Amino acid sequence: MAFSIGMFVRSLVQRNRTSRFRVIVMLPLVITTFLMARTGYVQNRVMQVRNAVIQKGPNQVCIINTAKAIAEETTKKKIPQQTFSFTSYSEALSSQADSESKVVFLAFADMGGFPMAMNFYLTSIQRYDIRNVLFVSSSEEFCSRFQAIEVACFVYMNESAHDKASVYLSKDFINKMNIRTYMILEALQLGYHVIHSDVDVVFFKNPTERIFDVCHFRDPEKVCDVAALWDSGAHNAGFLFIRNSNASISMYKSMEHTAKTTNIDDQKALNGAMRSLKKELRITSLPGAEFQSGLQFFDNSQRQFAGDHPCTHCIVMHNNWIVSMEAKVYRFKEMHMWLYDQDEYYSSTQRRYLAYQNPTYFGNDSTTLAAERSSLITALAIGLILNRTVILPKFVCAKKAQQCTILQHYLLGIFDQSFGSSYREHTFLQNELVPLTVRNSSRWTYVLLNSTELIPSFGVKVFRYNESQEIRQETIEKWFGNETNSVLQFHSLYNVPRIVLKNATADKEFKGKCEKAFVKAKWHQF
Ligand SMILES: *[C@@H]1O[C@H](CO)[C@@H](O)[C@H](O)[C@H]1NC(C)=O
Ligand SMILES: *[C@@H]1O[C@H](CO)[C@@H](O)[C@H](O)[C@H]1NC(C)=O
Ligand SMILES: *[C@@H]1O[C@H](CO)[C@@H](O)[C@H](O)[C@H]1NC(C)=O
Ligand SMILES: *[C@@H]1O[C@H](CO)[C@@H](O)[C@H](O)[C@H]1NC(C)=O
Ligand SMILES: *[C@@H]1O[C@H](CO)[C@@H](O)[C@H](O)[C@H]1NC(C)=O
Ligand SMILES: *[C@@H]1O[C@H](CO)[C@@H](O)[C@H](O)[C@H]1NC(C)=O
Ligand SMILES: *[C@@H]1O[C@H](CO)[C@@H](O)[C@H](O)[C@H]1NC(C)=O
Ligand SMILES: *[C@@H]1O[C@H](CO)[C@@H](O)[C@H](O)[C@H]1NC(C)=O
Ligand SMILES: *[C@@H]1O[C@H](CO)[C@@H](O)[C@H](O)[C@H]1NC(C)=O
């Protein structure tokens, strides 16, 4: 939980500079929203490591049952037993840091951030074969799941960190965010250089070489103590390189002091420490075009869907400037930056889908949004009846300018509480992780019309309903119940009357979910 609070607090920091007042007023609201979203998230996503997706090269993707494969491999090869768990932090660091450069990647997350951490591992660490990595968590379960797939993980808790425990962790308020500060300080004090990455980050390549380029500790011309991702006027604590030096140790000691004595998060503590030590500390900003914030990558560069403006010069991107874990995950998925195939999210060959589009602009934004919302409810109802997962369409953005994701309109954390397991992102069928049998399933395009509406497009198969108030479940079953294609494709679902389920309890339940699901999103899902 602390992990995600930190992620949006990091976004708040930038706002804070322009308007302290707004932050103070909004913080309780944001936290409430977050807590609601969080609950739904945990309920909706049972966290089990079943499958991990292994990227074997740019195009070659294979999906294995990890636990089984690993078990078989270990018995076959009789590799000397390595546990990937450690008895002390210094042992963990010395095992994982690069023995020559003494550089170690450190990534912290708690159990609530497990899927995100897994995705970070798959997209950024495993893909580029980065070995000098240590995952750190306050959760035993988190680490045992990583250790199960042979990834080094250290449980950094109150008592494990050399008795500092009782000093820095009160029973009432265990601020897990502070662990980042402590784990980095301790690593520096043990003589390592640290590349710290949040887990809501993706790498486009191994960033080490480029970091050495801009902050080389062997080149006196370029030597620096800290090189951080530069995010709209502040250094971002989510991705930074800290060279082991007296000045950087002083900086982290100052941050440790802030962590122990205040409720200020590590992002603000970092920038505060940088300001107060600016005489001795040599600070470099990682080049903005290559190390991007979420604001830069998604908003300023208008990227929403896989394939939008491929970033050829990107090295690292931090998926910040958006609130809620659900929204972050969704944003990654829509960009095909999500590789964690939890519960066969992508790879199922059995699951069936329903897709439709929003091709029309109805004169103004509010009428259009109302029509799109009603279409989505229709799709979810048909999906429920036919046991098909809805693939979201694009939505029309403000002033019909461009096409948006659902994030533009509704709070996804709330939507997920009702429908978290009933839908997929728009670019799902273009994703290479989805079996070809699903992606290439031949399909008709259907449309549901009343007795007078004109056929919207050539070649669509039309079903006309007589009922003007509501359509019964039986009608839907009669028309589409026999459809065996993986994807049931609709042209659009505008103006369809309410679909009534046979089972009155289920009908009421569905209606209730719909009433709760749609909360208008504000800027960046705040
Ligand atoms: C350390 O954490 C555990 C579990 O979170 C808790 O039971 C224990 O009391 C804590 N110890 C101290 C010294 O705070
Ligand atoms: C820190 O400063 C001391 C002297 O004050 C020096 O001996 C030591 O080498 C310095 N350490 C680093 C890592 O620069
Ligand atoms: C609905 O689809 C899911 C996913 O393919 C499947 O596991 C489940 O058995 C289906 N339920 C029914 C009632 O057919
Ligand atoms: C949008 O259009 C509808 C119908 O065309 C109209 O009733 C409504 O007042 C319009 N809303 C705005 C904000 O212009
Ligand atoms: C799947 O469809 C695409 C596009 O229609 C086509 O290029 C490709 O050959 C098809 N693959 C298979 C295995 O049918
Ligand atoms: C059919 O739908 C159109 C558009 O929603 C509406 O204007 C028309 O009155 C409807 N016709 C009937 C017979 O319900
Ligand atoms: C619609 O009404 C006509 C005439 O009453 C009837 O023939 C047709 O079967 C009805 N269709 C549906 C889908 O109920
Ligand atoms: C669907 O299958 C049932 C039984 O096999 C058949 O009676 C019905 O006519 C079929 N419906 C359609 C629309 O093909
Ligand atoms: C009706 O729906 C409710 C809620 O989904 C479910 O618990 C119940 O088993 C359903 N009843 C029948 C007869 O299917």
Task: Give residue-wise pLDDT tens across range 101-138.
Answer: 999 999 999 888 999 999 999 999 999 999 999 999 98
Residue bearing the CA closest to ligand 1, atom 10: 158
Domain range enclosing 246: 49-286
Residue 307 Cα, ligand 7 centroid: separation in angstroms? 45
Residue 258 is assigned to a structural domain of this protein: yes
> Domain ends where: 241, 257, 286?
286
**Widest distance between CA atoms in the chain:** 80
Query: Relative to the CA of 166, which ligand 1 atom is closest?
Result: 13
Tell how far CA 136 is from the center of its chain: 18
pLDDT of residue 64: 36
Split at pLDDT 50, 70, 90, the class of 345 is very high
Query: Could you identify the residue written with the tokens 């999103």?
Result: 521
Q: What is the pLDDT of residues 420-454, one digit of tens each?
A: 999 999 999 999 999 999 999 877 999 999 999 99
Percent of the chain exceeding pLDDT 90 equals 69
Bridge partners of 447? Answer: 462
Residue 117 is assigned to a structural domain of this protein: yes
Residue 105 Cα, ligand 2 centroid: separation in angstroms? 23
Q: Give the pTM.
A: 0.83
Judged against a pLDDT cut of 60, whether residue 255 lies above it is answered with yes
Say how far apart CA 19 and CA 281 lie, in whole Å: 28
CB of 367 closer than 6 angstroms to any ligand 4 atom: yes
Judged against a pLDDT cut of 60, whether residue 1 lies above it is answered with no
Residue 40 is assigned to a structural domain of this protein: no
More confidently predicted of 1 and 420: 420
Q: Can you tell me the mean pLDDT for 236-260?
A: 94
> Domain ends where: 242, 258, 286?
286
Supply φ then ψ for residue 317, to 5 degrees. -135, 130
Judged against a pLDDT cut of 60, whether residue 354 lies above it is answered with yes
Structure tokens that stand for 109 in this block: 């997350």
What is the 8-class DSSP label of residue 505? H
Residue bearing the CA closest to ligand 6, atom 5: 495
Do 187 and 282 sit in the same domain of this protein?
yes
More confidently predicted of 25 and 401: 401
Do 214 and 112 sit in the same domain of this protein?
yes
pLDDT of residue 197: 98
Helix (H) or strand (E) holding 365: helix 365-386
Residue 7 is assigned to a structural domain of this protein: no
pLDDT of residue 60: 36
Judged against a pLDDT cut of 60, whether residue 199 lies above it is answered with yes
Split at pLDDT 50, 70, 90, the class of 264 is confident
Say how far apart CA 18 and CA 89 lie, in whole Å: 40
Do 149 and 68 sit in the same domain of this protein?
yes
Amino acid present at 519: V
Do 261 and 405 sit in the same domain of this protein?
no
pLDDT of residue 38: 36
Closest CA to 321 of 410, 236, 406: 236
Split at pLDDT 50, 70, 90, the class of 21 is very low
Residue 406 is assigned to a structural domain of this protein: yes
Do 518 and 429 sit in the same domain of this protein?
yes
Q: Across all residues in the chain, what is the average pLDDT? A: 84
pLDDT of residue 175: 62
More confidently predicted of 290 and 87: 290
Do 422 and 520 sit in the same domain of this protein?
yes
pLDDT of residue 523: 83
Structure tokens that stand for 413 in this block: 């954390």
- Please report how many Cα atoms fall inside a 13 Å half-sphere around the Cα of residue 83, on the Cβ side: 8
Say how far apart CA 124 and CA 29 lie, in whole Å: 33
pLDDT of residue 479: 97
Cβ neighbours of residue 426 closer than 8 Å, sequence gap 6 or more: 305, 334, 391, 392, 393, 394, 405
Query: Could you identify the residue written with the tokens 């070649």?
Result: 459
User: Total domain count for the chain?
Assistant: 2
Ligand sitting nearest the alpha carbon of 440: 5
Burial of 471 (0-12, 13-18, 19+ CB in 10 A): buried
Do 91 and 217 sit in the same domain of this protein?
yes
Pocket of ligand 2 from Cβ distances under 6 Å: 244-246
Say how far apart CA 11 and CA 23 lie, in whole Å: 11
User: Residue 89 is part of a domain; what is its CATH number?
Assistant: 3.90.550.10
Bridge partners of 272? Answer: none
Residue 318 is assigned to a structural domain of this protein: no
Query: Could you identify the residue written with the tokens 């450190």?
Result: 106
Do 467 and 384 sit in the same domain of this protein?
yes
Q: Can you tell me the mean pLDDT for 388-414?
A: 91
pLDDT of residue 259: 87
Cβ neighbours of residue 48 closer than 8 Å, sequence gap 6 or more: 342, 343
CB of 436 closer than 6 angstroms to any ligand 5 atom: yes
For strand 193-197 and strand 234-242, is the pairing parallel, antiparallel, or unpaired? antiparallel
Do 405 and 507 sit in the same domain of this protein?
yes
Say how far apart CA 201 and CA 122 lie, in whole Å: 11
State which of 440, 442, 443 you would mutate to test the pocket of ligand 5, scoring each by most atoms of that ligand within 8 A of its C-beta. 440
Residue 279 is assigned to a structural domain of this protein: yes
Do 366 and 508 sit in the same domain of this protein?
yes
State which of 360, 448, 453 you would mutate to test the pocket of ligand 6, scoring each by most atoms of that ligand within 8 A of its C-beta. 453
Residue 11 is assigned to a structural domain of this protein: no
Judged against a pLDDT cut of 70, whether residue 17 lies above it is answered with no
Judged against a pLDDT cut of 70, whether residue 27 lies above it is answered with no
> Domain ends where: 286, 311, 330?
286
More confidently predicted of 519 and 265: 519
Structure tokens that stand for 326 in this block: 């659900």
Residue 354 Cα, ligand 3 centroid: separation in angstroms? 14
Closest CA to 392 of 364, 367, 420: 420
More confidently predicted of 37 and 348: 348
User: Residue 432 is part of a domain; what is its CATH number?
Assistant: 3.40.50
Do 96 and 172 sit in the same domain of this protein?
yes
Do 165 and 280 sit in the same domain of this protein?
yes
Residue 451 Cα, ligand 7 centroid: separation in angstroms? 10
Residue bearing the CA closest to ligand 2, atom 8: 246
CB of 468 closer than 6 angstroms to any ligand 7 atom: no
Judged against a pLDDT cut of 50, whether residue 164 lies above it is answered with no
For strand 61-65 and strand 103-108, is the pairing parallel, antiparallel, or unpaired? unpaired
What's the distance, Cα to Cα, between the start and end of the chain in Å? 17
